[in-house]
Amino acid sequence: MTEQIGILGGGSWGTALGILLANKGYDVTIWLRDKYQVEEINNTRINNKYLPDVVLPPNLKVSNDLEYSISNKKALVLSMSTHGIRDVLSKAYSYIKPNQIIINVSKGIESETLLRISQIVEEFLPENTYVVLSGPSHAEEVSKNMPTTVVSASRDKLAAEYVQDLFFTSTFRVYTNPDVIGVELGGALKNIIALGAGISDGLNYGDNTKAALMTRGIIEIARLGEKMGANINTFSGLAGIGDLIVTCTSMHSRNRRAGILIGQGIKVDEAIRQIGMVVEGIRTTKSAYNLAQKYNIEMPITSEIYGVLYEGKDVKNSVLNLMIRDKKNELEDIIKDKNNTW
């Protein structure tokens, strides 16, 4: 019998991964909350809202039935906005069996609790094995088989390798990593820096500015990650600098596009409306700002972006604040390696 995989969430990324798995021969079901969207996709075989240029394979099903989408599945992929995960798990956990592997592909930090997604999942599913799949991977490109590399991270080596095998294709290369904390934080926090890169573009600043934001941004991400128990090496890999580069430089990035609008003087709520999809970096900025306070660490880029998003600060003044900070030696920020193995 063909192995069955369930995907909870049918946005662009969940749909792209569903296409990838279905093309490998798996029996895939994507669950969507909106029954009208389910009907449209089943009638047209296209997810017009998120991936209008790609026809879904015949072995990729779309359903509004949560229990059906979960039952008898070897693995369940969580692919939804971070702030929606708790609500969905509260409805889904009674259908999920302890032997089902949970694969998270969402990127964010819960704003009310400051929990990573693995920690939310553990509250509902303490017996299930958890894997996070992350890296520089725009859904628009993955759905068209453009070469992509990502990382599968889990405390359980065999589970990380299972997910590696599950998704691995000639155009989708998967590495493994034991550092769940680092991979989750890298995927979430890079969205903040991408907002900053977009704001820089909206202000018509140049490549120098964006390079500075990206370079100093990864230092901030690593600084917080180190405090929270991550392996510093993770941030030089696919889930760190790799994801940061792609999100800060591509027009596929919702966070960068939202930042561009904000840099042009458009209000945050209007920028979100114009993007038309979840902009994870806006909520994540608040979470990261609060985590920086909690761990008593400096995150100057995050702090200035927080000021722009939540306190109405002028973006040009925020850039000036970053430029005139106290002089420093760059190597002060190099963090010593922490070995982290399975």
* 3 state SS of 116: strand
Nearest CA to 39 among 18, 68, 10, 16?
Answer: 10
Sequence-ordered list of residues with C-beta below 8 angstroms from that of 160, at least 6 positions apart, any chain: 131, 152, 153, 154, 176, 177, 178
CA separation for the pair 156, 139 (Å, rounded): 27
User: Taking a C-beta distance cutoff of 8 angstroms, is the pair 303, 293 a contact?
Assistant: no
Long-range contacts of 318-326 (CB under 8 A, 24+ apart): 319/200, 319/203, 319/205, 319/209, 325/300
The closest of 136, 216, 132 to 177, measured between CA atoms, is: 132
Active site residue 190: yes
Residue 138's nearest CA partner among 262, 48, 245, 47 is 245
Confirm if 304 and 325 have CB atoms less than 8 A apart. no
Residue 265: other Cβ atoms inside 10 A: 10
Q: Which helix (H) or strand (E) holds 63?
A: strand 60-63
Query: Is residue 223 within 8 Å of residue 315, measured between CB atoms?
Result: no
The CA distance from 93 to 322, in Å, is 45
Q: Is the dihedral of CA 111, 113, 119, 125 positive or negative?
A: negative
The single residue of 61, 190, 210, 286 carrying the catalytic annotation is 190
Residues classed as catalytic: 190
